Amino acid sequence: MPPKVDHTKCDGCRAEEEPLCEQICPGNLMTLNDEGKAICRENRDCWDCMSCTKICPQGAIETRLPYQLGYYPAKLIPKVGTNKIIWTCIDINGKVERFVVKTRND
Amino acid sequence: MSKAGVVLCRCNSIIDGRIDFEQLNKKLAADKKVQAVIQVDMACSPRGKKTIRELAAMEEVDRLVVAACSPFSKGAVFDGFALEMQMPKQLIELVNLREHCAWAHEIKDADKKALTLIKMGLKKVLAARDLGQWSAGCAHVNKLKCDRCKRCIEECPNRAIQLGADGYPAADPAICQRCGICVGGCPLGVIALPDFRLEEVSAMLAPLSSGQSPVIAGFFCNFAYQEADLMGQIGRQHSPGLHIIRVPCTGAVNMITVNDAIAEGIDGIMVVGCDSSQCKHRKGNELAKYRIANCRKGLEEQLLEQERLVYVSLGEGLVEPSVINRRKCVRCGLCAQICPYGAIKITDSGDYEVNARACRGCGACAGACRSGAVDLPQASGGKIMAAIKSALAG
Amino acid sequence: MATKKNVPRSLEEVEKIYHDTDILIIGAGNAGCFAAIEAKRKNPGVKVTLMEKAYIDRSGCLAAGMDAINTYLKKGMTIDDFIKWSRSQAGGLLREDLAIKVAENLNAPVEEWEEWGLPIKKDEDTAEYATRGKWDITIQGESMKPIIAEKVREYGCEVLNRVVATNYLVKDGKVTGAMGFHVRNGKMYVVKAKATIIATGGAAGLYKPYTNDGSDSHHQLWYCPFNTGTGYAIGIRAGAEMTTFEMRWCATRTKDFNGPIDTISVGYKTPMINARGEKILQEHYAEWGGETAPRFIRANAPMEEWREGRGPCFMDTTAMSDENIKQMKNDYLNERPSYVLFLASRGQELKEEPIEIYGNDPYIVGGHTASGYWLNADDWSTTMPGLFACGDVAGGVPNKFVGGCAAEGLLAARGAVEYVAKCGDIEIDEAMVEAELERVYAPLMRMFNEGDGVRPKEMEERMQRLMDEYAGGVHQFFRMSEEQLKYALKHIKIMQDQVKYLIAEDLHDLMCAHEVIDRLDVAEVLIHHLMYRKETRWPGWQTRTDFPERNDAFDCFVNSKRDPKTGEVQVFTRDYEQIVPGDRMKAN
């Protein structure tokens, strides 16, 4: 649930008035901190729709599950193409699975 | 349904021996999306053009793939042809079978490569669609998808994009240089140039992925593409696995395209352009490198090798920098002010110095200097006067 | 932080933005977007404004996408077939007149979506949509929301993003628009509209989810946690008639993650088993039809098993092929991608470890059950003139799902467009605007002036545990009795009074405060409905321990209306009207 932002990659969308993650979040949860880097204002309220993770141009956001639900350190990484997304899933044992999901026709 | 016509040019028989045109013809004719395939001896000749005209006039054909030479060789001919046929020039795709295939590979590899290149061209031209960018004359933002993050406004080196009254960014056709840096940086990929659209580029990747292994997609900027043409002309070969796609500037390569390439199973992606400060569009390559560095980290996190995505600089674009004559220089600083590339700076000692790697040899400093202290070696005051004298004498 | 920056410190500081439009659509989700597009198609000259509390491209239930359309009439299926099936799954209760119209419009929006770019799986031989279940087709809907958002813009609709709706504008009993506030710039929005379409979805978060133990998983729900029942609440407060709230949606979901299960059960035909390996439905629910038992039986079955000591329960994936497992994960990536992460973070190999299932916290959602606004089948209007409803917020038609909600968007738009053509000028009640200004910004003002009170999170958690324990939540295995419900009602009413002590630190907090206020109003009506129906028609969805059998005296609709002035909730019944003949409890 908690979207974790890598502040070495986040450029605050060049400090635009509304960075992409803040603009897209259906729960109004992403915002910029005082240093101009993205944070989730309330981890427990995230629904892990992963819209922020997909839209970040720097690939700075990682969606994680709370420890209540899943162990550490599994990863699910989306990379968005023009009409498809590649998902790379790495489980806690290091097993890797890749999926290519079509998202639009033509 | 759109169908394409394919023109195979034998280049006045120069490349006859290197590519089996009969085989190529047969294979293409079997493609469902190809209405007809014709062979011509010289596509750019009057007879060649007449034959192509007939093909284009066929009812079912509304777009063409012309497999011939480099767009830098005869591209203008086909732009003119498009005008004549009243076809949008975006519907004629020139595939470089000469400099980048017949001349650059062994005969046994050239054939297969030729088919792949033409299929790429086919996919591109069949995906060509006008969302307003054809007639825009400059970069065009798809306002239905744009989320107004304004990154394009920030990154445009010419400050050609401004926020319109409707809150959406729009490029000024008078200022826009059509470098495509905005196209490359847009996180949602919603900007297109009149002749460069991300979906069309990505459409080329599927046929590319079945090329000879290891399959590499090479995004060459205009300058680098011409260098590749030159290699072909002097007979230097390159690996048939490298498929060259022309981009206006390396800054026009969007990481979304890289994601599409990885999804297609393409082994490697090269982005080829100018040396660090020689980019004609000022900071296209800088931005490209920044985005690529970030993308490489992403590749590593996905447990894919970083090395699959590389930026390659071609250093030959260096020009002889301008020279400041210290005895004549009065240190007014006008050259530093006027240099569009920020290549002239003041040093601690108070002298003005030209950064050789940043200088583009435009000569604005030489023209502005009131003391005649700045000169361009390849276009020095002396040389110019000599040329004028010679022109007046003759 | 925008939401901390633009916080008004006094009511005078609040800037009011007045807006005029023909059709106001509250909620730019699936139903709202289709309503907007259809309104413009019917009359390009009509002005359409959408008020959306998030951002249209990813707002609502479809934020991450969807992997199936669960109601599509395939070749050879008739509307009657659909009505009979839906009716049998709903304990024999549904508004047949509404359902018939929805069924007539079911296929078109799906086909349009495909034209606009939504990939739909096709059968290789017939080129028809590939069948997943009887009524379901598989889609690759990761981008289906951005696709319709683009269409909304293409048709020239105006979208007010980040504006939270707080109440209707009502004049002389007619709805004349709505009021709200902008969660980023703090301004108050007063939107005057000739017709208003409510499309805010259902209500989640009324009950405590079982993973909510003060950790980071508060919103680990199946339904969109950002759908907080605002549409129901503002209707309730204005006096609109609601129906069948007691038909709650309590479903079987993946345990802990609360994720969708249809993908596995319908898509890959995996049986439901208990800890002993017994096929639950076949073993213990044979008289209900075994594997074809109605939805509420399937939903409640694992909970019964658990209670009887035969849990945990699973969807048996151990017999699935590798290819199908990969395809199933692919399907999940289209709808709830983090479920794939969930399996990965447990190192779960589905051929060795089947997927555990459990019930979820109850939701009120008119797309799955019949809960919501009581509608007129002629024009999809509610009982308040000028107000139309569509989607999960609209009642009477269970088993709509995504396709049916889209169809309702079309129907409500048609009703609204015709209404706009006939209604004259409309006015707004300024006194209402002033009163709303005070009500909406009160938590902020209290924070500045008093500095002390109740935080929205505290009230939300109290309400959720109260409802869970006394109004049949998941920890009670969905069971409730008259005494428990009375207790719940008493405390909900205390909290409704306590709302005046709510404090908010910034605009996001203010939104949370209103979400709690709205949920309390919905919870109050819900409890009234649960108390009124003294029978158990849908075990699991509404299990009365004091009236455990079905009682045909309640073979009717239970409806309610709240008096806008006194706040008193009236509950009454409406007769059932059968149009399609047949036994209402049977699908054939």
CB atoms B144 and C150 under 8 Å: yes
Claim to verify: residue A87 and residue A47 sit in the same structural domain:
no
What is each CA distance from B99 to B39, B95, B222, in whole angstroms?
19, 10, 14
As annotated, the active-site residues of A are: 47
Half-sphere exposure of B138 (CA within 13 A, CB side): 15
Claim to verify: residue A79 and residue A62 sit in the same structural domain:
no
Nearest to B259 among A23, A24, A79 (CB): A79
User: How far is Cα C62 from Cα C29, in angstroms, rounded to an integer?
Assistant: 8
Claim to verify: residue A12 and residue A58 sit in the same structural domain:
yes
- Hey, is the C-beta of C161 within 8 angstroms of any chain B C-beta? no
Residue C215 in this model has a pLDDT that exceeds 80: no
- What's the mean pLDDT in C198-204? 97
CB atoms C216 and A85 under 8 Å: no
User: How far is Cα C8 from Cα C36, in angstroms, rounded to an integer?
Assistant: 32
* Closest chain C residue to A91, measured at CA: C344
Residue B323 in this model has a pLDDT that exceeds 70: yes
Number of cross-chain residue pairs from B and C with Cβ atoms under 8 Å apart: 7
- What's the mean pLDDT in B310-331? 84
Claim to verify: residue A53 and residue A92 sit in the same structural domain:
no
Residue C229 in this model has a pLDDT that exceeds 70: yes
Distance from CA of C171 to the nearest CA of A (A): 32
Residue B384 in this model has a pLDDT that exceeds 60: yes
User: How far is Cα B171 from Cα B161, in angstroms, rounded to an integer?
Assistant: 4
Claim to verify: residue A49 and residue A75 sit in the same structural domain:
no
CB atoms A92 and C345 under 8 Å: yes
CATH classification (class only), C439-553: mainly alpha
Q: Choose from B16-30, B46-60, C495-509 the range with maximum mean pLDDT.
A: C495-509
Residues of B with CB under 8 A from a CB of C: 143-145, 147
* Chain A contact partners (≥3 CB pairs within 8 A): B, C
Tokens of B12: 């006045």
* Closest chain A residue to B128, measured at CA: A106
- What's the mean pLDDT in C544-571? 96
CA-based Rg of chain C, rounded to a whole angstrom?
23
User: How far is Cα B199 from Cα B189, in angstroms, rounded to an integer?
Assistant: 9
- What's the mean pLDDT in C539-567? 95
* Closest chain B residue to A18, measured at CA: B149
- What's the mean pLDDT in B280-298? 89
User: How far is Cα A100 from Cα A79, in angstroms, rounded to an integer?
Assistant: 10
**B233-265 tens-digit pLDDT:** 888 899 999 999 999 999 999 999 999 999 999
- Residue-level length of chain C: 588
Q: Mean pLDDT, chain C, as a whole number?
A: 94
Which among C118, C338, C358, C455 is the top mutation candidate for probing chain A, defined by the most A β-carbons within 10 Å of its own β-carbon? C338
User: How far is Cα B81 from Cα B92, in angstroms, rounded to an integer?
Assistant: 9
Residues 13-42 of C with CB under 8 A from A: none
Claim to verify: residue A79 and residue A27 sit in the same structural domain:
no
Nearest to A79 among B147, B154, B262 (CB): B262
Residue C130 in this model has a pLDDT that exceeds 60: yes
* Closest chain A residue to C162, measured at CA: A28
* B380 residue type, one letter: S
CATH code at A53?
3.30.70.20
Q: What are phi and psi of B357, to 5 degrees?
A: -80, -20
Claim to verify: residue A13 and residue A54 sit in the same structural domain:
yes
* Beta-bridge partners for C357: C254, C313
User: How far is Cα A23 from Cα C162, in angstroms, rounded to an integer?
Assistant: 9
Q: What is the pLDDT of residue A1?
A: 56
Q: Which residues of A touch B127 (CB under 8 A)?
A: 106
Residue B272 in this model has a pLDDT that exceeds 50: yes
Q: Can you list the domains of chain B with their CATH numbers?
A: 1-128 (3.40.50), 140-192 (3.30.70.20), 211-318 (3.40.50), 323-393 (3.30.70.20)
Claim to verify: residue A17 and residue A59 sit in the same structural domain:
yes
The band of B319, judged by pLDDT with boundaries at 50, 70 and 90, is confident
Domain containing residue A53: 1-66
Q: Which residues of C touch B144 (CB under 8 A)?
A: 150, 153-154
The band of B390, judged by pLDDT with boundaries at 50, 70 and 90, is confident
Claim to verify: residue A91 and residue A43 sit in the same structural domain:
no
Asked if A20 contacts A13 with a C-beta cutoff of 8 angstroms, the reply is: yes
Residue C1 in this model has a pLDDT that exceeds 50: no
* Closest chain B residue to A14, measured at CA: B151
- Hey, is the C-beta of B293 within 8 angstroms of any chain A C-beta? no
**C137-181 tens-digit pLDDT:** 999 999 999 999 999 999 999 999 999 999 999 999 999 999 999
Q: What is the pLDDT of residue B143?
A: 94
Q: Which residues of B touch A56 (CB under 8 A)?
A: 187
- Hey, is the C-beta of C55 within 8 angstroms of any chain A C-beta? yes
**A11-60 tens-digit pLDDT:** 888 866 789 999 999 999 999 998 989 999 999 999 999 999 999 999 99
Claim to verify: residue A88 and residue A52 sit in the same structural domain:
no
**Start-end of CATH 1.20.58.100 domains in chain C:** 439-553
* Beta-bridge partners for B34: B4
Residues 46-105 of A with CB under 8 A from C: 46-51, 63-72, 74-76, 78, 85, 87, 89-93, 95, 97, 99, 101-105
Strand spans (E) along chain B:
3-9, 34-40, 61-68, 92-96, 140-141, 161-163, 169-171, 191-192, 216-221, 242-247, 268-274, 309-314, 323-324, 344-346, 352-354, 374-375
Claim to verify: residue A45 and residue A2 sit in the same structural domain:
yes
Query: What percentage of chain C carries pLDDT values higher than 70?
Result: 99
CB atoms B144 and C154 under 8 Å: yes
CB atoms A47 and C119 under 8 Å: no
Lowest mean pLDDT among A55-59, B375-379, C353-357, C391-395: B375-379
CB atoms C343 and A91 under 8 Å: yes
CB atoms closer than 10 angstroms to residue C127: 8
Claim to verify: residue A62 and residue A76 sit in the same structural domain:
no
Conformational region of residue B137, where left means phi above 0, alpha means psi within -120 to 50, and beta covers everything else: left
CB atoms B149 and A58 under 8 Å: no
Q: Is C582 helix (H, G, I), strand (E, B) or coil?
A: coil
Q: What is the pLDDT of residue A37?
A: 93
- What's the mean pLDDT in B96-106? 92
**C399-433 tens-digit pLDDT:** 999 999 999 999 999 999 999 999 888 888 899 99
User: How far is Cα C542 from Cα B253, in angstroms, rounded to an integer?
Assistant: 57
* CATH fold for domain C252-358: Flavocytochrome C3; Chain A, domain 1 (3.90.700)
Distance from CA of B58 to the nearest CA of C (A): 28
Alpha carbon B361 to its chain's center: 22
Q: What is the pLDDT of residue B394?
A: 66
Distance from CA of B263 to the nearest CA of C (A): 14
* Closest chain A residue to C142, measured at CA: A103
As for how many domains chain A has, the answer is 2
Q: Is the peptide bond before C146 cis (omega within 30 degrees of 0)?
A: no
Distance from CA of C287 to the nearest CA of B (A): 50
User: How far is Cα B214 from Cα C38, in angstroms, rounded to an integer?
Assistant: 50
CB atoms A82 and B147 under 8 Å: no
Q: What are phi and psi of C416, to 5 degrees?
A: -65, -40
The angle subtended at Cα B258 by Cα B252 and Cα B263, nearest 5°, is 150
- Hey, is the C-beta of B209 within 8 angstroms of any chain A C-beta? no
**Start-end of CATH 3.90.700.10 domains in chain C:** 252-358
The band of B276, judged by pLDDT with boundaries at 50, 70 and 90, is low
The band of B338, judged by pLDDT with boundaries at 50, 70 and 90, is very high
DSSP helix, strand, coil percent of chain A (3-state; round to 5): 15, 30, 55
